[in-house]
């Protein structure tokens, strides 16, 4: 039967050989024993002496003797143990002092090392915080830059997608369109696309061009051609050369459409015809030629384009002339208004003078002022009549020998009170010399008189395209003869010979 012995931990200061009682408990202020430490260990029989008797339960005799006096003196076992430690502490005071010194030194080292490590950690933390702030600012700048780049990229993507969608609508996706492209027929932007009145006719022409190309009636060629004894290869060669010739012809036709100007119609039609003739000569071996039907529809396209451009130019010219007439009318109205204001002031002035003379009894002076008042009232009535009648004005006949020669005159009309102001405006920077005035005819129907003169010399217009240009290939004497015959009562003075002082001085100088 084995017994147990007390196994105190190394961190407990207990007297050697001391064995606690059965109800003994360690002092709570003592340090805890190491993990897994056993306070009681079994004693094997080999370790017991032969004379050893089983240990009685309870405290050992030594412990009983050791603490017998203390029990008699009173006090708990913990107090007795503390007294024993205090009494035995002096024997190891030097060792304890060394231990304390060593512990203090190690503690100071640990404290210093801990302070250094703490300071290093603090410095690293501050450095990391600074770097983090810099990185944060850099990240903000980078994010802003990326945001702007992203917006720019999104805009580019949007534009690219729009462009892609636009291109997709133009991509040839059918064999029919591919065939038209092979012979040079593209859906390019035609000058007539925006012309509502011409759009239907243009669509008809385009459909006719495509139909002739699809049905292989745009190009005519020989049949039964063989290559190396193969009719299939011969047919393929004829087809390829026909496409090539048609492509060249269509390129010439499209150039003519793009570069069309009304005055170039005849030359562009002639150029397209010569291109057709050249293709016929180059393809004479295989009898390749552009068909008459296809050539005619292409020429019709050119004529339609020229007609549209001519009408468009006429509309622009009409708008310019309408604006010019509006400016002329506005100037005439301002002049009439100034004249009306002037006459009203004179009328008021003379009326006041007339009242004073009558009050003074000066009948002769009053009669003279009354006559002047009648003249002013008559002039004011004329101004009001001219303002009310838009057909009233002056017809002028002018020439510019230095600019147009001695056989060209301009016949126009103005509603100005001072018609010479209009002549001075026409003599501006657009012409090298001033105009000479041959006649100024006042008429209550100046518009009708101008129209009659224009009709009389309609066949001799300088500009036969734009009827609003008022220059004619006639001499001043011929205009005078017509005026004497049709409006002699209005013709006060007519100068057949132009002075042309600036031109003559420049020529002789």
List the domain range (segments joined by +) for residue 26.
3-74
Residue 299: left if φ>0, alpha if ψ -120 to 50, beta else—which one? alpha
Cβ atoms within 10 Å of 418's Cβ, excluding its own: 13
Which of 74, 100, 128 terminates a domain? The answer is: 74
Residue with tokens 């243009």: 202
- Look at residue 459 and tell me if it is in a domain: yes
Where does residue 379 rank: exposed (0-12), middle (13-18), buried (19+ CB within 10 A)? middle
- Look at residue 205 and tell me if it is in a domain: no
Measured between its terminal Cα atoms, the distance across the chain in Å is 160
d(CA 118, CA 152): 49
- Look at residue 470 and tell me if it is in a domain: yes
Whether the CB-CB separation of 436 and 385 falls below 8 Å is answered with no
- CA distances 151 to 154, 155, 158, 166, Å, are 5, 6, 10, 22
Print pLDDT tens along the chain (509 aa). Answer: 457 777 888 777 776 667 787 777 787 877 888 878 887 778 765 544 444 444 444 444 444 444 444 444 555 666 666 665 555 554 445 565 666 677 778 888 888 888 888 888 888 888 888 888 888 888 888 888 888 888 888 888 888 888 887 776 655 444 445 555 554 444 445 666 666 667 788 888 888 988 898 888 889 988 888 888 888 888 888 888 888 888 899 899 989 988 888 888 888 999 999 999 999 998 888 889 999 999 999 999 898 888 888 877 777 777 777 677 777 777 777 777 887 788 888 888 778 777 777 787 777 877 887 888 888 788 777 777 766 666 778 889 999 998 898 899 999 888 787 888 888 888 887 888 999 999 888 887 888 888 889 889 989 999 877 777 889 999 988 988 888 876 555 566 788 888 888 888 887 65
Q: Which residues of 141-161 are buried (b: 16+ CB within 10 A; e: fewer)?
A: eeeeeeeeeeeeeeeeeeeee
Which of 74, 90, 110 terminates a domain? The answer is: 74
Give me the pLDDT at residue 274, please: 92
Residue 432: left if φ>0, alpha if ψ -120 to 50, beta else—which one? alpha
- Look at residue 201 and tell me if it is in a domain: no
Q: Which two tokens stand for residue 438?
A: 């041959």
- Look at residue 468 and tell me if it is in a domain: yes
- Look at residue 343 and tell me if it is in a domain: no
- CA distances 366 to 352, 361, 369, Å, are 11, 8, 5
Count of domains observed in the chain: 2
- Look at residue 260 and tell me if it is in a domain: no
d(CA 280, CA 287): 7
Give the pairing type, strands 219-220 and 289-290. antiparallel
Which of 30, 48, 74 terminates a domain? The answer is: 74
- Look at residue 504 and tell me if it is in a domain: yes
């Amino acid at each position: 039967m084995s017994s147990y012995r007390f196994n105190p931990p190394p961190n407990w200061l207990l007297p050697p050989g001391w064995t606690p009682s059965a109800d003994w408990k360690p002092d709570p202020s003592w340090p805890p024993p190491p993990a897994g430490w056993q306070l009681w260990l079994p004693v094997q029989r080999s370790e017991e002496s032969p004379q050893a008797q089983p240990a009685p339960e309870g405290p050992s005799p030594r412990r009983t003797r050791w603490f017998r006096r203390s029990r008699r003196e009173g006090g708990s076992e913990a107090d007795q143990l503390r007294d024993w430690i205090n009494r035995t502490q002096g024997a190891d005071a030097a060792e304890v002092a060394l231990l304390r010194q060593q512990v203090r030194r190690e503690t100071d080292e640990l404290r210093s090392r801990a302070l250094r490590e703490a300071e290093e950690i603090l410095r690293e933390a501050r450095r990391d915080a600074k770097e983090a702030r810099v990185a944060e600012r850099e990240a903000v700048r980078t994010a802003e830059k990326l945001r702007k780049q992203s917006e720019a990229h999104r805009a580019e993507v949007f534009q690219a997608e729009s462009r892609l969608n636009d291109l997709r609508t133009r991509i040839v996706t059918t064999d029919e369109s591919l065939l038209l492209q092979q012979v040079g027929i593209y859906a390019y932007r035609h000058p007539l696309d925006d012309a509502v009145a011409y759009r239907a006719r243009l669509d008809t022409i385009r459909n006719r061009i495509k139909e002739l190309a699809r049905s292989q009636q745009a190009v005519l060629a020989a049949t039964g051609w063989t290559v190396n004894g193969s009719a299939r290869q011969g047919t393929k060669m004829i087809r390829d050369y026909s496409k090539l010739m048609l492509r060249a012809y269509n390129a010439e036709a499209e150039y003519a459409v793009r570069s069309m100007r009304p005055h170039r119609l005849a030359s562009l039609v002639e150029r397209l015809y010569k291109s057709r003739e050249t293709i016929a000569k180059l393809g004479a071996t295989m009898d390749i030629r552009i068909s008459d039907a296809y050539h005619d529809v292409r020429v019709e396209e050119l004529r339609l384009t020229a007609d549209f451009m001519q009408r468009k130019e006429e509309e622009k010219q009409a708008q310019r002339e309408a604006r010019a007439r509006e400016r002329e009318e506005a100037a005439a109205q301002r002049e009439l208004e100034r004249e009306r204001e002037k006459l009203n002031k004179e009328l008021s002035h003379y009326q006041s003078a007339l009242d004073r003379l009558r009050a003074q009894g000066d009948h002769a002076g009053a009669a003279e002022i009354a006559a002047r008042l009648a003249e002013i009232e008559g002039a004011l009535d004329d101004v009001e009549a001219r303002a009310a009648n838009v057909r009233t004005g002056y017809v002028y006949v002018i020439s510019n020998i230095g600019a147009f020669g001695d056989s060209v005159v301009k016949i126009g009309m103005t509603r100005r009170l001072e018609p010479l102001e209009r002549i001075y405006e026409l003599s501006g920077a657009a012409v090298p010399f001033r105009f000479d005035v041959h006649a100024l005819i006042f008429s209550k129907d100046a518009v009708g008189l101008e129209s009659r003169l224009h009709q009389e010399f309609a066949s001799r217009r300088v500009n036969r395209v734009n009827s609003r240009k008022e220059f004619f290939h006639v001499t001043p004497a011929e205009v005078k003869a017509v005026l004497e015959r049709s409006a002699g009562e209005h013709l006060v003075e007519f100068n057949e010979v132009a002075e042309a002082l600036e031109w003559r001085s420049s020529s002789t100088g």
